[in-house]
Amino acid sequence: MLTTIALASLKRRKHTALLTLLSITISVCLLLTVDIVRTQVKTSFTRTVSGVDLIVGAPSGQLNLLLSSVFNVGTPSKGIPWNSVASLESNKQVAWIIPLSLGDTHKGFRVIGTNNQFFTHFKYGDKQALAFAHGSNFTQPLSTVVGADIAQTLGYKVGDKIVISHGLGNVSFNNHDTHPFVIAGVLEKTGTPVDKAVYVTLEGLEKAHSHQAGGKNSSMRSISKPKLDEHEHEHEHDENNVTKHNATEIRYNSNEFAPQLVSVVMLGLKNRVTALQLQYQLNQNNNTPLMAILPGMALAELWQIMGNIEALLLGLSSIIVISALVGLATMLLASMRERYQEIAVLRTIGAGPFTLLLLIQLEALFITLVSLILSVVLVAGLITAIKPWLSSEYGLFITGQLFGQSSAIIGSLILVSTYIVSLFPAIAAYRRGLHAGLNSK
């Protein structure tokens, strides 16, 4: 009966009740969305790279090695000799390796030297492999593959030529313009740092660097040749180059080239159980100073540093919900003056002051409960609808259940908070009920 009276009372004040319901629903939706995104972002962040069991580089600190190899931020202080890389590749526990050479840029974007192993074994998110929107992987020594953001920002397509620059600044006066790279492929969008990177062959990168070192002497040697002969020679050279280029595209294997140094090596193991054992062996090797890190543990450590931002977002959303609940209490208090006659009638038919207190609290809890149900439905529908967009644009992969233990705790806290804030108008109704009872006598 008390529930029927509470619903009838809210129906009489339906406009005010609906506005309060809308306010609380929006606030709860915001809080639940922040909680889901917070949880999913943490999961996606720790899966920026997946399938890589170890990252090996020169000793420079765990976070520095992680940031430079996965997030393209900074660069390792020293390189790794190729004989050390070959030793890792021949290790019985290692299934595959991905060498990375860092330190160059293209129009402010990072350039990464690697081989086709990168496109075969590098994975992100829920072990999703890299895919090509256009073109393919490296087909010749001067091939390059660009990320989706670079292709979109700079308007690149397969077949375009690009020139890389030495150094990590946005502006460089040391361009490798004598060795332009030809775009062989454009990667599909991943929402990870892969989208903002240019990938070139290790062979092409080393050629560009070696030519830069000896470019002056070679240019001086070509000046003494007659102009006509030089033109004919260049024309003949171009034709030969076309023939060689076509033949190279068919048989080129970027994995066979062995550079002098690389910056970082990513390892995939035959059995992930041996990751800790191999990490310990590499870190304790005194012959060649190396540092091996577990990507998952390093990403978790990096996320802990960013935990304050996570707590701040959750705190702001909680304040918004509390403000909406205060608005609910204000609405109930404001309606008390209009309900004096209603309270007097209830007292006349035998309702005690405690019953009036429960009635007001029941109205508040009913509004909040409906808001919670609406919020869960709206948030679930919204997240499901934009899930593909979040994964492609921001690399946020929504997996598992949307509403877990934290969502249940949030809902419980909101109901408890509603009970607390509704005490003020409920006590006012209780006191009014006492006065109405005295007057009736």
pLDDT in tens, 364-412: 888 889 999 999 999 999 988 888 787 766 666 676 677 888 888 888 9
- Among 83-92, 111-120, 358-367, 387-396, the range scoring the smallest mean pLDDT is 387-396
Rounded Cα distance, 142 and 179, in Å: 8
Percent of the residues in the chain that have a pLDDT greater than 70, as a whole number: 77
pLDDT at res. 150: 93
pLDDT at res. 329: 78
**What residues does each domain of the chain span?**
2-45+307-440, 54-293
What is the per-residue DSSP string for 267-289? EEES-GGGHHHHHHHHHT-SSS-
- Average pLDDT of the chain is 79
- Among 49-53, 85-89, 313-317, the range scoring the smallest mean pLDDT is 313-317
pLDDT tens-digit map of 156-171 = 999 999 999 876 555 4
Neighbours of 214 (CB within 10 A): 9
Residue 227 pLDDT grade (very low, low, confident, very high; cuts 50, 70, 90): very low
Q: Which residues of 292-315 are buried (b: 16+ CB within 10 A; e: fewer)?
A: bbbbeebbeebeeeeeeebeebbe
Q: Average the pLDDT over 297-307 and give the result.
A: 79
pLDDT at res. 345: 65
Instruction: Using alpha carbons only, give the angle 166, 171, 172 rounded to the nearest 5 degrees.
Output: 35
Q: Average the pLDDT over 29-37 and give the result.
A: 85
Q: Which residue has the higher pLDDT, 281 or 46?
A: 281
Rounded Cα distance, 31 and 321, in Å: 7
Residues 42 and 270 sit within 8 Å (Cβ to Cβ): no
Please compute, for residue 390, the number of CA atoms within 13 A of its CA located in the half-sphere on the CB side: 16
Question: Is residue 315 predicted with pLDDT exceeding 60?
Answer: yes
pLDDT at res. 346: 66
Residue corresponding to tokens 């990490």: 279
Q: Average the pLDDT over 111-131 and give the result.
A: 91
pLDDT at res. 321: 84
Residue 347 pLDDT grade (very low, low, confident, very high; cuts 50, 70, 90): low
pLDDT at res. 161: 93
pLDDT at res. 229: 41
Residue 118 pLDDT grade (very low, low, confident, very high; cuts 50, 70, 90): very high
pLDDT at res. 233: 42
Question: Is residue 237 predicted with pLDDT exceeding 50?
Answer: no
Question: Is residue 100 predicted with pLDDT exceeding 80?
Answer: yes
pLDDT at res. 313: 75
Q: Average the pLDDT over 89-96 and give the result.
A: 92
Q: Which two tokens stand for residue 307?
A: 């935990």
pLDDT at res. 219: 32
Q: Which residue has the higher pLDDT, 126 or 27?
A: 27
Do the strands 143-146 and 197-201 form a parallel or antiparallel pair, or are they unpaired?
A: antiparallel
pLDDT at res. 108: 85
Rounded Cα distance, 421 and 211, in Å: 75
Question: Is residue 430 predicted with pLDDT exceeding 70?
Answer: no
Residue 236 pLDDT grade (very low, low, confident, very high; cuts 50, 70, 90): very low
Smallest Cα–Cα separation from 41: which of 296, 400, 397? Answer: 397
Residue 342 pLDDT grade (very low, low, confident, very high; cuts 50, 70, 90): low
Q: Average the pLDDT over 207-214 and give the result.
A: 67
Neighbours of 104 (CB within 10 A): 24
pLDDT at res. 110: 92
Amino acid at 298: A
